[in-house]
Structure 1
């Protein structure tokens, strides 16, 4: 199996008819078989893997987890959804409590792809689960890096991220001091400053990585000009 056990949420397992659960299992089996097939086609159903999943949603889901360096992404928790007679979509994104330079050592360094530390409890983002065979495919990698470039020029640009951080700071301006008074936590402005700086470093590193390398997966530390 490519993934850890998949648990139905809506509807829950007890509310699924046997035919529905069998159908979902067959779709996931077809996806796995198609991804490892040399031609990318499920031998049982004759469908290419791109006719089983929404490729764009899997790319965006991956990017959103990687941009904040989520140690739990792809291996411990994640959502997928599927409407009737539609493709399997990845998302929505969630489980972000140990990300973006947090106390989890795996999320501190903004200059590496994988979420790693001194232990073996790491997240190899390009080789885990369904993403391993996806990233083996040249066309998928091209779409993935093109999507990164589009986002870095738009919603993930320094200006866009800075504006969003400013909005968040304004939203917290009333509740932040009360939180500090109640719990004795670090100053909330300092926490936002740290996150802002981490994201700027992270996004700058990704941008440079894509510019400097034909295969950005090779990036493993701070960049130096070639």
Structure 2
């Protein structure tokens, strides 16, 4: 795992501390440092990083203002010499807030939080794909392409939006465990449906966008109470 980061602080010694601490972590890759928040904001309009170390109190524009201006903000660790600005940092869902002078021990705790968050993001990304064996080959299926899944005894048939159904040896229970939580629901001992592919639900029937109608089993009647039509 490689985490690309930049550091923004109008005080060069503070930048030196951050970059020196960061060298102790193989996962961190320094891309750029800035002692001018305006220049950093301009650079970020055309570049992307995974993490920003950012001072809160800077001339021209504060770190909080800069963070709020970012369209697709990466992880942010705020740094400042003033405790009273901590709330502003956490209000923006910052990964952490470091009080200057920054000790290596405190810096290390922040990086642990970053690595933990990256791990969760990677796990979720991996859940967006389903890896199965079918027709003597390994297939990687984007779960957004799945309409519904049908049980055929020891096999399951995966019905896709843009291709012919795919057959694989797997139980429905195991299949459900591998799908992203909240995006799929089991409605019958023989069917798992993609929630975003449901057109409507009535009279114990699930009508899919593709026109297929699937029954809701007695053991899965809770689905009828939980599902809300958009």
Task: Provide TM-score, normalisation by structure 1.
Answer: 0.22
More strand by share: 2
When normalised by structure 2's length, the TM-score is 0.22
* Structure having greater relative contact order (Cα 8 Å, sep ≥ 6): 1
Higher helix share: 1
Q: Which has the larger radius of gyration?
A: 2
